[in-house]
Amino acid sequence: MKRTLLEIYALAVCFFAVACFVIVLGMAAWNGIALSAPGFTLSSYVWGHHQSDQAFRDYLAGQHRHADEKDYVPPEGTALTQARERSLALEIQSERRSAFQGLVRYVIILFIDAALFAVHWRLAGRARQSPD
């Protein structure tokens, strides 16, 4: 069975569209997990600073030391715990927002990819049916 150049082109585009679909679907799945469980996908760096008041205090002191604020004194006691909990809530909210943005981006890519695949699949079918 002889293949035309048009059919080979259309099938090659379909092949790459499927590969793109698989990759983007995996990334979209990760964003779905991040949307439903943002604490799980939060970076270990951020997560580690929020595990205890002492870790958060050290993190705050380090942040202000690098900003040339040598006289900064981190909060203590209940104020430190509240600041840590507020900071963690903001980090989780940011993770969730970022995941939603990524999910929307990947859904758009999937729609474009599906349209590209459908057009080229039909083109390959027509090229296969046309007489030589």
Over residues 54-88, the pLDDT tens digits come to: 999 989 888 877 666 667 788 899 999 999 999 99
Cα(6)–Cα(16) distance, integer angstroms? 16
Residue 122 domain boundaries: 5-129
* Helix, strand, coil percentages, rounded to 5, for the chain: 85, 0, 15
Q: What is the 3-state secondary structure (H, E, C) of 94-106?
A: HHHHHHHHHHHHH
**What is the count of structural domains for the chain?**
1
pLDDT tens per residue across span 23-63? 999 999 999 999 999 999 999 999 999 999 999 998 988 88
Contact indicator for 1, 66 with CB cutoff of 8 Å: no
Q: What are the residues whose beta carbons fall under 8 Å from the beta carbon of 58, sequence distance 6 or more?
A: 49
Cα separation of 35 and 88, whole Å? 16
